[in-house]
Structure 1
Amino acid sequence: MAEIVALVDYGAGNLHSVENALRKVGAEVIVTADPETLRAADRIVLPGVGSFRACAEGLRAVDGAIEAMSERVLVGGAPFLGICVGMQLLADVGLEHGSTPGLGWISGEVRPLAPKDRDVKVPHMGWNEVAPLPHARDHAVLDAGEAYFLHSYHFQAERGADILAMTDHGGSLVAAVGRDNIAGVQFHPEKSQSYGLGLLANFLEWRP
């Protein structure tokens, strides 16, 4: 029997493109925010585009969704992938339009991009390198390559061990975070062609 991937539906704008990409690599996807379905899922993917505050408030507005995700991922050990703002929501707090609490699964803050070079534009938009750090070069999900980014805020992780990969846009930026059975990517695998599909296929095979 195929494993079920729960794609969390809380009004995130990239929901259907992520669903299509997951199905393309063979995933059995259920688009849902139902707590009982989340508790029964084999894997969970949290998408997200837009502002940290809007996404955090949207997720909290779905009764029982965060509790169910926490139970399935933090207690049950289900593999989890956060994408773009879905990755940023792993932080303790986001500083977009004020201070908004995140999930607090990976310690850190989401801060505005502030490139040292004034000629470097914000948002960070387009293709850029994903460079795994030495301690993450054998990570089952993440490979080196080029991916599509679109963001104006970045994850500033508290612990270096939680940073899986970096990129560069007027200075070093976190491209991926993770620990144990949790992974998050700042870029959009669903827009990253063969590299992104490869990452999603890796996620489906991941046995943390």
Structure 2
Amino acid sequence: MADKPVIVIVDYHKGNLSSMARGLARAGAEAQVTDDPERIRAADGIVLPGVGSFYDAIAFMRESGQDRAVIDAVAGGAGTPFLGVCLGLQLLFERGDEGVPDAPVPAAAPAPADAPAEVPPVPAGSDLRDAPGTVFEAEGKRWVRGLGLLKGSCTVLPADRLKIPHVGWDQVHLTPAGLACPLHDGFDEGANLYFTHSYALDGDADAGDIAARTFYARAFGSVVWHGNIYGCQFHPEKSSAHGHRILENFVRIVEARVKEVGA
């Protein structure tokens, strides 16, 4: 086993990813930025960063094959630890409505025959069986499908009383499920972390997947956890000591998985 776990930062060609690479390196990982699906599959851990819009990001991931690489690694037999950050958290879910183009809706397609059994099932005939990046209509609006690793939708925060986007330091409150989350080891309840976003997880996510909540414009899941899948709406790489603790904990999660597989 290498001295440091190899954690790949998925590059979908939006923005500067160097701050995340530096943060993971400080936390003890060998951080590699790549757009190569095979390197994503081979990584000890995967980070999907938060840059751009839901539609643009998932469209690039689908066109490049990154979507299948992430799903194969995370939900397949490897059980690779995964951390989604900001938009990266949102892309974990079934659908989002950010940046969806006004274009014809493609015909529905069946789920791929080789889809890993571990991917959460959806009802027969559901639109959500289509591939990531597919545009569809439901509930009077246009959506684009995400990775579908977790159940739920991502929608814009309401601008009724507070300024949107939500930018700055805000509190993260642990849920009962989140008290056991290894990403929160040594994390202070109510700690302030750095947010910058206009869209967030909606209320249709499974409550058991919500490890922490933040209250701004509405309550939303600011940390999610499901097995080897983790996500945070805030930017840990920009969140001082508490953010560094999150990255350190993720590196330890990856190290533990490497040891388990190598045993």
Tell me the TM-score normalised to structure 1 length. 0.93
Secondary structure of the residue aligned to 1:92 is strand
**How many residue pairs were aligned?**
205
The whole-number CA distance in structure 2 between the counterparts of 1:27 and 1:3 is 5
| 1:152 is aligned to 2:198 | yes
- Distance in 2 (CA, whole Å) between partners of 1:93 and 1:79 is 22
Which segments of structure 1 move beyond 6 Å, counting only runs of 4 or more?
none
2:223/2:232 contact within 8 Å kept: yes
Whether the aligned pair in 2 keeps the contact of 1:106 and 1:178 (CA below 8 Å) is: no
Q: For residues 3-22 of structure 1, give each alpha carbon's deviation from its aligned partner in whole angstroms, at most 9, with x where no partner exists.
A: 11011111132411111111
Deviation at residue 97 of structure 1 after TM alignment? 2.8
Contact 1:43 1:79 in 2 (8 A): yes
**Among candidates 137, 140, 148, match of residue 182 of structure 2:** 140
2:47 is paired with a residue whose SS is: strand
Which 5+ residue runs of structure 2 have no aligned equivalent?
101-142, 258-263
**1:127 and 2:169 aligned:** yes
Deviations 1:9-61 (CA, angstroms, capped at 9, x unpaired): 11132411111111111210111121221121110000022211111112223
Structure index of larger Rg: 2
In the TM superposition, what is the alpha-carbon distance from 1:179 to its structure 2 partner? Answer: 0.2
Whole-angstrom CA distance in 1 between matches of 2:98 and 2:68: 24
Partner of residue 72, structure 1: 73
Structure 2 counterpart of 1:108: 152
Query: What is the CA deviation profile of residues 65-123 of structure 1, one whole-angstrom value per residue up to 9, with x for unaligned ones?
Result: 222221111111111000000110011111113311100001101111015xx331111
The separation in 1 between residues aligned to 2:48 and 2:217, in whole angstroms, is 28
- Structure 2 counterpart of 1:191: 238
Q: Which runs of 5+ in 1 are unaligned?
A: none
Out of 162, 183, 193, the residue aligned to residue 209 of structure 2 is 162
**1:88 & 1:14 partners in 2: Cα distance?**
19
> Are the equivalent residues in 2 in contact too, given 1:13–1:48 (CA < 8 A)?
no
